Amino acid sequence: MKVLGIETSCDETAAAVVEDGVKILSNQVASQVEIHARYGGIVPEVASRQHILAIIPIIEQAMTGAEVTWDNLDGIAVTNGPGLAGSLLIGVNAAKAISLAHDIPITGVNHLEGHIYANWLVENGAAPVPVFPLISLIVSGGHSDLVLMKGHGDYTLLGRTRDDAAGEAFDKAARILDLGYPGGPAIQRAAESGTDSVQLPRAWLKGTNDFSFSGIKTALLRLVEAGRISNKADAAASFQEAVAEVLVTKTIAAAREYGVKQILLAGGVAANRLLRQRLLKDSPLPVLIPDLKLCTDNAAMIAACGYFHFRLARQTV
Ligand code: KG4
Ligand code: ZN
């Protein structure tokens, strides 16, 4: 079964074709990052206008790359939230139009559910298949969620951030340190030449599976304001360490509590090298992490998730 995935929830216009929920036939992303970098963050109105320009060419590229025509497509999966309303609208309307014009079944995919399904994808050869029950840590620009998954489509939210999402914290910390946008990769780059030598607080929120990152960010801001950061690389390394330590420790604790078989990492922050290494090193359970380019927003993960919707016969947009 070949599914066309469409993703426009934020600042990437993306389309992909995936076979049977696992095999990537093509995966195209038109990034707007350079346009928004000028403003130091995403400007929603600019994002929707860019999606309008990019949506048709990117779908055509994905289909050409996968060597499929409308007749070969068995389904369309489109992100229908959460995200920027104006951006989501472009992808959903494009998907609905194609579905109607070519009589192809359509399903709406939750963006965070899509991120989890990046772990099912393979480009060449075989990848380990996730085994249920599992816990997924989804860390993106808008969310930090711990989700228990007992089967396809069976989710229980165990914990979430009470303030900033992990990616949001990276973006804000990079702004405080004047390291540029997007913040996650900028912090990671700066941290490479620094050491974890700046003391920053960790919010453990004991007795819960929730997270909080605004305290770490504010502590960093206070140190910068007081002129106590002499080395940005050290500050970046310390910030990254603090965030990774909390995420890894709490995820492993939840995995133990719920007796799961695996831990899955997902979302843009899953591209963070320290977080990946630390989770793999510390976890007593098998850990699955998507390929780097499948961590940040893409449509292959949406198509993969959509395939399992079709198998479960959930077909709503
Ligand atoms: O999943 P994603 O691409 O978009 C959303 O759904 O939000 O995640 C974007 C977030 C941004 O906050 C970005 O700074 C962060 O992921 N990010 C990273 C890295 N690459 C992207 N954070 C830490 N380290 C990275 N290497
Ligand atoms: Zn995302």
Per-residue pLDDT tens digits of the chain, which is 317 residues long: 999 999 999 999 999 999 999 999 999 999 999 999 999 889 999 999 999 999 999 999 999 999 999 999 999 999 999 999 999 999 999 999 999 999 999 999 999 999 999 999 987 667 778 999 999 999 999 999 999 999 999 999 999 999 999 999 999 999 999 999 899 999 999 999 999 999 999 999 999 999 999 999 999 999 999 999 999 999 999 999 999 999 999 999 999 999 999 999 999 999 999 999 999 999 999 999 999 999 999 999 999 999 999 998 754 55
Among 164, 296, 302, which is best to mutate for testing ligand 1, by the most ligand atoms less than 8 A from CB?
Answer: 296
Angle at 33 between CA 303 and CA 14, to 5 degrees: 15
Given this model, what pLDDT does residue 125 score?
Answer: 65
The CA 151 to ligand 2 mean position distance, Å, reads: 22
Residue 212 to residue 217: CA distance in whole angstroms: 10
Dmax of the chain from CA atoms?
63
Answer yes or no: is the C-beta of 87 below 6 A from any ligand 1 atom.
Answer: no
Q: Where are the beta strands (DSSP E) in 214-284?
A: 262-266
DSSP annotation string for 170-189: HHHHHHHTT--SSHHHHHHH
Find, among 106, 31, 103, 19, the residue nearest to 67 by Cα: 19
- Asked whether 88 and 51 are in contact (CB, 8 A), the reply is no
The CA 185 to ligand 1 mean position distance, Å, reads: 8
Enclosing H/E stretch for 290: none
Answer yes or no: is the C-beta of 138 below 6 A from any ligand 1 atom.
Answer: no
In this structure, which residue's CA is closest to atom 2 in ligand 1?
A: 268
Given this model, what pLDDT does residue 307 score?
Answer: 97
Q: Which residue type is seen at 218?
A: T
Q: What is the pTM of this model?
A: 0.96
